[in-house]
Amino acid sequence: MAEAVKLCCVACGQMNRVPAAKLAAGPKCGVCGAALADGRVFELDAAAHDRAVRGDDLPLLVDYWAAWCGPCRMMAPEFAKAAKAMAPAVRFAKLDTEAHPAVAQRAAIRGIPALVLYHRGREVARLAGARPAADIAAFVRSHVAAGTG
């Protein structure tokens, strides 16, 4: 059997097994049909955050942000560019710290924007402050290449 990776559908919460060789083909959730690794930035709620952080086999970069934060809003298009560039090897997601303060507190977010890279249930690295897409991609590559992948 081909190697499979587990991915959480952020739309319905279902865990999906996807053959690693088919990640570039745009896999969809077996329950709701939502895209799983298409290079878009996913919006997370508390339950999807916890499930994806714990269950995803692919590296997951989460942007902890808030709508009132100017640097967060300025970085959003750069974060989206990096997500497109790194798909399907890395998934990108955002969590609104104003809407989900308990999650931000559990993740020890002290300032925003804050990028936290997770892989297979553990935090790998953090990056604080607004960054251009090239810096975000380089940050992820340096930690994925260093043994998370």
Residues tagged active-site: 69, 72
Alpha helices in 19-90 (DSSP H): 46-55, 70-86
Q: Which of 109, 122, 115, 110 is nearest to 140 (CA)?
A: 115
Residue written as token pair 């990096």: 82
- Residue 66, number of CB atoms within 10 A of its CB: 16
